[in-house]
Structure 1
Amino acid sequence: MENKLESKVNDKLQNMDSEKKEEILSSFDGFKQYLADKVEKADKLGLDQEQIAKAAQKVGDFLAAKEEPRNREEKLLQELWKAGNEEEQHKLAHMLVKLVS
């Protein structure tokens, strides 16, 4: 299940058009709302917190590697993400999920 979930998240990120990405990332509130919506959908699908955090971690990896921060909050998250090891990034993903839940 986890590999399928990670693959689905990766496909979604790779295929998102730039206009939609800009809409999500233009403000931190927009990013949190997008994440909250995805967490709610994952809950409804019956995914547990660990699975949701792994998906959030995949999103964090993608954003840190391929997107420039659009605001101070995203810049801080990117810096924390890059400074952390995989375990710390996973904990930060859990915290982000908790923040928007």
Structure 2
Amino acid sequence: MSVLDNFETWKDFLGNRLQQAQDNGMSEGIMNSIAAEIGDYLAANVEPKNGEQRLLADLWNSADENQQQVLASTMINLVKNSKAH
């Protein structure tokens, strides 16, 4: 099973990677940039597997570069908030 098959699994995966990045001293700005690169890759190369991913892909593909940065940052916040609960 791929981490992309289920949105909760995907968020857990991202949360674990985010924690590793923070533990290794990666700055918030670098994490946001990497998140945007991942968003670009996923939008171009990965077919959404569920409704949440379809919504994110549609939002990503309709956004300009600045809006994509905001979406990437928002996903980071979503993951952080999920880990806090």
Normalising by structure 1, what TM-score? 0.77
1:50 shift after superposition:
1.1
1:97 and 2:82 matched: no
Aligned positions of 1:24-43 closer than 5 A: 24-43=3-22
Provide the rounded CA distance (Å) in 1 between the counterparts of 2:77 and 2:10: 14
Given candidates 27, 31, 42, the residue that maps to 1:63 is 42
**Unmatched 5+ residue regions in structure 2?**
81-85
- Matches of 1:70 and 1:43, distance apart in 2: 28
Q: Distance in 2 between matches of 1:41 and 1:26?
A: 22
Alignment deviations for residues 5-64 of structure 1 (CA, whole Å, 9 cap, x no partner): xxxxxxxxxxxxxxxxx5110000111011111110110111111111111111100100
RMSD, matched Cα: 0.8
Partner SS, residue 24 of structure 1: coil
Structure-1 separation of matches of 2:8 and 2:68 = 21
User: Separation in 2 of the partners of 1:50 and 1:94?
Assistant: 9
Scaled by the length of structure 2, the TM-score of the pair is: 0.90
Alpha-carbon distance between aligned partners in 2 of 1:53 and 1:28, rounded to the nearest angstrom: 20
Runs ≥4 residues deviating over 4 A: none
Identity across matched positions, percent:
32
Aligned positions, number = 80
Amino acid aligned to 2:42: L
Check if 1:51 corresponds to 2:66: no
Structure 1 residues not aligned, in runs of 5+: 1-21
